[in-house]
Amino acid sequence: MHRRKVIVNGQSRALAACAPYTSALDWLREQGLTGAKEGCAEGECGACSVMLARPGIDAPTEWTAINSCLVPASSLSGQEVVTAEGLGTPSALHPVQREMAVRGGSQCGYCTPGFVCSMAAEYYRPGRADFDLEAIGGNLCRCTGYRPIKDAALALEQPAADDVLAGRTQEPPPELAGDLAAVLAAVAEGAVVVAGSTDLGVEINLRGARPERTVAVDQVPELREFEVTGDRVLLGAALSLTEIERRLAGRVPLLDEVFPLFASRLIRNGATIGGNLGTASPIGDLPPALLALDATVVLVSRAGEREVPLSDYFTGYRETVLRPGELIKSVHLPLPLAGTVAFHKISKRRLDDISSVAVAVALDIDGGVGGVVRRARVGLGGVAATPIRALATEAALVDQRWNDETVARAAEVLAGEGTPMDDHRASAAYRSAMLGTSLRRLLGRAQ
Amino acid sequence: MSIGEAVPHESAALHVTGQALYTDDLVRSTKDVLHAWPVQAPHAHARITSLDPAPAYDVEGVVRVLTKDDVPGVNDAGTKHDEPLFPDEVMFYGHAVCWVLGETLEAARLGAAAVRVEYDPLPSLITVREAIAAESFQGARPKVARGDPEAGLAKSAHVFEGETEMAGQEHFYLETHASLALVDEGGQVFIQSSTQHPTETQEIVAHVLGLRSHEVTVQCLRMGGGFGGKEMQPHGFAAVAALGARLTGRPVRLRLNRTQDLTMTGKRHGFHATWKVGFDDDGHLLALEATLTSDGGWSLDLSEPVLSRALCHIENAYWIPDLRAHGRVAQTHKTSQTAFRGFGGPQGMLVIEDILGRCAPLLGYDAAELRHRNLYAAGQATPYGQVVRHPERLDRAWQQVLTEAEFVQRSKEIADFNASQPRVKRGLAITPVKFGISFNLTAFNQAGALVHVYKDGSVLVNHGGTEMGQGLHTKMLQVAATTLGLPEEKVRLAPTRTDKVPNTSATAASSGADLNGAAVKDACEQILARIAGVEGTTWEERVRAAYMQRIQLSAAGFYKTEGLHWDAATMSGEPFKYFAFGVAAAEVELDGSTGAYDVRRVDIVHDVGDSLSPLVDLGQIEGGFVQGAGWLTLEDLRWDESDGPDRGRLLTQAASTYKLPSLGEMPAVFNVSLLQDATETGAVYGSKAVGEPPLMLAFSVREAIRQAVAAFGPAGVSVELASPATPEAVFWAIESVRTVTHALA
């Protein structure tokens, strides 16, 4: 029964029968490892952050921080977990723990174990030169104001030569890899698909969702393909946002504008591109950009595969063309990419917030400012029941010169796209106004 | 680890290794625990016409449903007898009408969903404006007054009037409310609780259970943040857990999840203010007439003392000769708003800062100059009659900030920047803080400590204060080690318990270190005095010798703040031992196309007296500032104000919708200095309280935003800014100044 074991802080523990809705966090706490805490139960605060050994990009295995409140305990099966307790002890602090302690990085201490794990994962990132502060952007602290935490992160040096965790390079066990046929069979029988569980976990924790059956897809090789050819980029549906960001390495500039605004690193480490399209939220961050990139999605079932333009994929509020038994396999981005792109997300908080409006623009322009717009794609989020393309705006831009007059005219059209609504995030009037200003900002940036 | 040394938090090594325990971490080591889940009403205001727990018992694992009929003592969770623990009348959306205990949390949750409750909905008041219109008020209607404001306004060359409204704030301590209750030998109840006020938790549990205080013990190991939210709010939850433990004989754990905590517990009061202010030709404040209405929510809770402190801080750091400020507490159908860092002080001060920010352009003054020329001077007294001691320290801090922030030079650069940038504008503002230290109610200004010296020379310190991250225990260890002249490893601190130190005040009002520090010092000094004549070359030898001479090596320390007096009827006296001062300058950059902004730089000089613990104090200043900036800019509590079926429901009831400052909101440059040569003779080791005052330094951010907004309009434009100044609110403020074609002045 290999698959019912978890290695926690170097020690193998039996993953005894626990309910499908039991989170990894609750399971760890039942094991007596109470360092990880529940602060919000929806992946917003990071108090539950722990490190997982995941298949790596720059090394066979990389330590990856995730929100343990979101993933089911059963998904830990066969994996290796490190918590704050496993990094060091009061008499032998880990370098991350030492910097946090001596610099006043903890006050009440409740968020601290989570910060330590998020920070340690970045500390161990293969090839790290500077500390990327995005690593701790998904952790909230209500006491310190963050200055000492930031200083602690920036004070970290490289791991010592004899650091056991840094030296861990073995491949993940092959039996972890999922089997597509088995997954498709389960999906056909109505199992709920789970990848990073960053959405389902919230439904379970906050809204009492209790799916009878789930099937994990995050380790299925066919869903984890990544390929760049002459005419397209192929992104496997089960690749996490972090994996896509690092594998693309800047090759899709529009997505590079999306990544830092897509939730937090902790979420991006779990959340997948397939999940973001599968959940079909009208305020998801990826769909507007993928619409602007003319993406298509490949859907797979036991009956075979079909490819659907993303603009035809969404059919209603959280509804799509996905048929029973069907699963998103991959997302294709046609090449070459448009030359002038922008992603504009309006939210209360600049980072790690849900958008009230999102606008993605991809334009092919002959020459720079003043040239003629040959092709325009504008994707919108937050203004309708689904992510939509702003077709009237696109029409108002095509064959026009990329200048103040065109933008003023198109901006007026754009402000009238969709049917923005009033809610606690923003008023309808503000949403419309933000649509209107987004093109002006793009032109302003070019000028 | 002596006084004045910059040491890390005493539990830092436990925090970073995940070994520090909080109330809910104790569940695993407790056997046979039952879990509690509330039945929350889906109405803002309703009468409960029937409540049938029977279906809950059909759910596997449900052990007990707790209802009003189970209460052996008084069915009340507060001190004002207006907070029934199990209500007949639902007073806010999410009000808990009964609680279900289950073998697992899942069983309790499903059991709660099965309880059948019928309601007769009643009309509700959700906003403070609705309450004002309906004249729905509760509690006292105090007034602070001095001089003749009508005459002062009459002789003013410039008179302005307006309204100011500000939202409340959710505490969002990372640790939600938690209690673990057990019944031990002889029917005594032992409760571990995340409480800032163990004594009051003890008293309320006792009266709910019909017990005497000596039958109930409350312990608080530490809290994962409190900020005032655990001063008055934990009592009812502790009482439910204790009641469950008494009825079932098993330990009961009650831990709110985030949404329960957000929808059931009180928050910072939002306030509404109307005001009329007069200035002379030189920009001096002459008179202020104001009415402050706080949004108290459904019950009084701490609303009256919060309002008192608001009225006692309405002038902030400014001399206003003729002043009258009326206060009242609106009753609305929302959570019962409560203490939150600053305790009304921030809301009172926001009024005058809003007035100065709005009036400066109308008077033709630079806002910094207008503020500076109205600062208190030597010999002047507050409107409630307390002379402001050391006002020169305020000016010293002001000048130091101007210098360190290169304020004049940067103001000029910003003017140039704004002139050349049509889409983006910057603002730089400087604001002061003067905050009174002591509980307004004189009796609360007392504290106790219990210090034991064991025969091996080790020392155990108990005191009445609770640790919520503010570093109180660190400071108490420093006080004890310094007083006894011992190294830190010889001194240990025990968790706060009501059977060690009784009759304590809340750890609140920034007073924890002042009060408990003096009590710890007193206890240590008593022991030192008793062993003064005992021979020995080492501490251990002297302790051993003292024991052999039958000298008591344990002492109860006590402290009461001298020189305070307060007449609540006339709202006058000397309620505060001293004032804490601080000054901040903040620079922001606004994007005119969205209203979004960044805080580019903050410079703070803050007065903590002679710092007991500089690293702790620095943490309080930085953390308080960021929390204050969150209140003023980002944190946006929204209730359903519609007439729909969910009227009164908190819409921002999760971390995904109620956003706190994150790392990204930290000022890019953040310089904090402690004011030097600032010994406070009235407090322990010359120190000053630091918990609350820095929060109000964040007014500098709001005022900087106001100035940057103004830069989108013509010179002399007065900017009205909502609070919180979210990007959307800032965008509309920019749009409104853009439509002003000429200044109003």
Check residue B440 and give its pLDDT: 86
Q: How far apart are CA A276 and CA A287, in angstroms?
A: 8
Q: What length is written for chain A? A: 447
B571-626 pLDDT, tens per residue?
Answer: 999 999 999 999 999 999 999 999 999 999 999 999 999 999 999 999 999 999 99
pLDDT of residue B741: 67
Residue B406 has pLDDT above 60, yes or no: yes
A169 confidence band (pLDDT: 50, 70, 90): low
What pLDDT is recorded for position A442? Answer: 84
Residue B287 in this model has a pLDDT that exceeds 60 = yes
- Provide the CATH number for the domain formed by A2-155 in this structure: 3.10.20.30
- Residue B655 to residue A44, Cβ atoms within 8 A: yes
Which residues of chain B form CATH 3.30.365.10? 271-439+572-738, 446-560
Q: Report the CATH number of the A222-334 domain.
A: 3.30.465.10
Q: Annotate B219-238 with b (16+ C-beta within 10 A) or e (fewer).
A: bbbbbbbbbbbbbbbbbbbb
**Closest by CA position to A195, among listed A173, A220, A213:** A220
How far apart are the C-alpha atoms of B323 and A344, rounded to whole Å?
49
Confidence (pLDDT) at A3: 54
- Above 80 in pLDDT, residue B715? yes
Out of 2.40.50.140, 3.40.50.300, 2.30.110.10, 3.30.365.10, select the CATH number for domain B271-439+572-738.
Answer: 3.30.365.10
The mean per-residue pLDDT over the stretch A131-155 comes to 98
**Mean pLDDT in residue range B293-319:** 98
- pLDDT reported for residue B745: 42
Q: Do A148 and B670 touch (CB under 8 A)?
A: no
- How would residue B330 be classed by pLDDT, with cut points 50, 70 and 90? very high
Interface-testing mutation among B10, B17, B421, with chain A (most A C-beta atoms within 10 A)? B17
Mutate to test the interface with A, among B663, B672, B736 (most CBs of A within 10 A): B663
Judged against a pLDDT cut of 90, whether residue A20 lies above it is answered with no
pLDDT digits (tens, 9 = 90+) for A223-238: 999 999 999 999 999 9
Decide if A349 and B665 are in contact by the 8 Å CB cutoff: yes
User: Mean pLDDT throughout B558-579?
Assistant: 95
Q: Select which of B175, B353, B467, B692 is catalytic.
A: B692
Comparing CA positions, the residue from A118, A74, A125 lying closest to residue A100 is A118
pLDDT at A1 over 80: no
Could you give the percent of chain A with pLDDT greater than 90? Answer: 84
Contact yes or no for B468 and A142 at CB 8 A: no
Position A2 confidence tier, pLDDT thresholds 50, 70, 90: very low
Among A163-177, B318-332, B527-541, B671-685, the minimum mean pLDDT is found in A163-177
Query: In this model, does residue B733 exceed pLDDT 80?
Result: yes
pLDDT confidence of residue A363: 96
Confirm or reject CATH 3.30.365.10 for domain B446-560, answering yes or no.
yes
Above 90 in pLDDT, residue B69? Answer: yes
Considering only the beta carbons, identify the residue of A30, A202, A206 that sits closest to B28. A30
Instruction: Give A346's contacts in chain B (Cβ within 8 Å).
Output: 594, 596, 727
Q: Which residues of B touch A85 (CB under 8 A)?
A: 17-19
DSSP H or E segment with residue B356: helix B345-363
Show me where the domains of chain A are located. Answer: 2-155, 222-334, 340-446
Question: Average pLDDT of chain A?
Answer: 94
**pLDDT tens readout for residues B123-139:** 999 999 999 999 999 99
Overall average pLDDT of the B150-167 stretch: 98
Chain B environment of A133 (Cβ under 8 Å): 663
pLDDT of amino acid A367: 84
Q: Inform me whether the pLDDT recorded for A56 exceeds 90.
A: no
Cα(B261)–Cα(B176) distance, integer angstroms: 6
More confident residue, A444 or A68: A68
In this predicted structure, the answer to whether residue B742 has a pLDDT above a threshold of 70 is no
Can you give the pLDDT at residue A444?
80
Residue of A nearest to B19 (CA): A35
Does any CB of chain A come closer than 8 Å to the CB of residue B50? no
Whether complex ipTM tops 0.90: yes
- Cβ of B469 within 8 Å of Cβ of A350? The answer is no
**CATH assignment of B12-123+171-264?**
3.90.1170.50
* Choices 3.30.390.50, 3.30.930.10, 3.40.30.10, 3.90.700.10: CATH for A340-446: 3.30.390.50
- B488 an active-site residue? no
pLDDT score of A100: 98
Q: With cut-offs at 50, 70 and 90, classify the pLDDT of residue B732.
A: very high
pLDDT, tens digit, 9 for 90 and up, residues B5-38? 999 999 999 999 999 999 999 999 999 999 999 9
A110/B174 Cβ within 8 A? yes
Say what the pLDDT of residue B743 is: 53
Please give the structure tokens belonging to residue B420.
Answer: 């050349």
- Taking only the tens place, the pLDDT of each residue in B75-112 is 999 999 999 999 999 999 999 999 999 999 999 999 99
Q: What is the pLDDT of residues A294-348, one digit of tens each?
A: 999 999 999 999 999 999 999 999 999 999 999 999 999 999 999 999 999 999 9
The pTM (predicted TM-score) of the whole model is: 0.97
Worst-scoring range by mean pLDDT, A2-6, A94-98, A352-356?
A2-6
pLDDT at A440: 86
Q: Per DSSP, which regions of B236-321 are E strands? A: 252-255, 271-279, 285-295
Q: How far apart are CA A436 and CA A332, in angstroms?
A: 30
Beta strands, E only, B10-152: 34-40, 46-52, 62-66, 89-90, 96-102, 116-121, 137-138, 143-146
* 3-class DSSP assignment, residue A106: coil
The vertex-A166 CA angle with A161 and A167, nearest 5°, equals 75
Average pLDDT, rounded, for chain B: 97
Task: Give tens-digit pLDDT for A357-381.
Answer: 999 999 999 987 889 999 999 999 9
A25 interfaces chain B, CB cutoff of 8 Å = no
Alpha-carbon distances of A247 from A56, A57, A242, A252, B560, rounded to whole Å: 11, 8, 8, 11, 65
